[in-house]
Amino acid sequence: MRSSFAPGKIILSGEYAVVFGYFGLAVSSSIGIEAAFENDDSEPQIEIIWRGAKETHINYAKKIAALCEKDARKFRGRLVINSNLPVGKGMGSSTALIIAVSRALLGENAKENARLIEDTLNPGNSGLDFTTIWENAPILYCKSADAKIISLPSDLLREAVLIDTGLPDETTSELVAWMQRRKSEVLNELEIIDECTKRLVAGDSLPAVMREHNKAQVALGVVPPRVAKMIAEIESAGGAAKVIGAGGRAGGAGMVLALGDKTWIRKIASRENMPVTLL
């Protein structure tokens, strides 16, 4: 029996900028995905047991297991998966599943295999999600340099909450490809986001940086109007908020990280029927 755990991630600064070689900063979450593989040679193949999961998620786990088998022996037995990570909402659930399953099947040295699977299933990814989730640590990331585990104030997110704004209509890979086609139009926003990352590393106030960062994400077109309005209301009430992943053009924008008076934040989010959870 081999077990593994992969956390989710929260990007504090850097969405899309990291795809183009700028800096980004992310932390791992306490919630995540567990996978446990029990070898059983009497089984013809691998059976995936994931209670409560949708068929599409189980099929995705099957795809990852098949990619793990590519250069290795065929796996026979049971792969049990448990997750409390919201799926498709900017917390890195797809990457966490790749890492949890790869480690359960191939062991702790599966980093290169897992990275290849990430590139196959999530084309165009920058590597920020992968590195943060693999290391389970705060990561300062830039494509052209070695990622750095950095220490952040332990109380940085103590008062933070997550607001579930719903599933985006587009996949992250679709949004990244859309941004790549518009690179020359969005350079200014990418540079602002890079600057936000550098300000956080220099110890600037998180709420102040989040307000700037959110403005740039809105200008990039990945914060749907309903979510942008909700964030603006949180700001008017003295708080700060930002989308923590790829966001979306239509539909929801996944999870929003919010700081400020929790009573007000709950009130504002509930007007839009958006559930709030503590971090």
Contacting positions for ligand MEV (CB under 6 A):
11, 15-16, 18-19, 90, 125-126, 128-129, 172, 176, 245-246
Which CB atom, from 164 or from 233, has the smaller least distance to ligand MEV? 164
Which CB atom, from 105 or from 179, has the smaller least distance to ligand MEV? 179
Smallest distance from the beta carbon of 26 to ligand MEV, in angstroms? 8
Smallest distance from the beta carbon of 145 to ligand MEV, in angstroms? 15
Which CB atom, from 22 or from 37, has the smaller least distance to ligand MEV? 22
Helix, strand or coil, per DSSP, at residue 11: strand
Instruction: Please state whether 94 falls in left (phi above 0), alpha (psi between -120 and 50) or beta.
Output: alpha
In whole angstroms, what is the distance from residue 18 CA to residue 193 CA?
9
Helix, strand or coil, per DSSP, at residue 169: coil
Smallest distance from the beta carbon of 14 to ligand MEV, in angstroms? 7
Smallest distance from the beta carbon of 271 to ligand MEV, in angstroms? 27
In whole angstroms, what is the distance from residue 235 CA to residue 213 CA?
13
Which CB atom, from 11 or from 200, has the smaller least distance to ligand MEV? 11
Which CB atom, from 77 or from 251, has the smaller least distance to ligand MEV? 251
What single-letter DSSP state applies at residue 81?
E
Which CB atom, from 18 or from 218, has the smaller least distance to ligand MEV? 18
Smallest distance from the beta carbon of 156 to ligand MEV, in angstroms? 19
Contact 215, 191 (CB under 8 A): no
Residue 87 CA, chain-centre distance (Å), reads 10
In whole angstroms, what is the distance from residue 120 CA to residue 116 CA?
6
Smallest distance from the beta carbon of 131 to ligand MEV, in angstroms? 10
Which CB atom, from 11 or from 65, has the smaller least distance to ligand MEV? 11
Strand partners, 3: 36
Q: Exposure string (b/e) for 197-212, b if CB count within 10 Å is 16 or more?
A: bebbbeeeebbebbbb
Strand ordering across the sheet containing 240-243 = 240-243, 255-259, 161-164, 276-278
HSE-CB for 15 with a 13 A CA cutoff: 34
Smallest distance from the beta carbon of 135 to ligand MEV, in angstroms? 15
Phi (first) and psi of residue 25, to 5 degrees = -135, 125
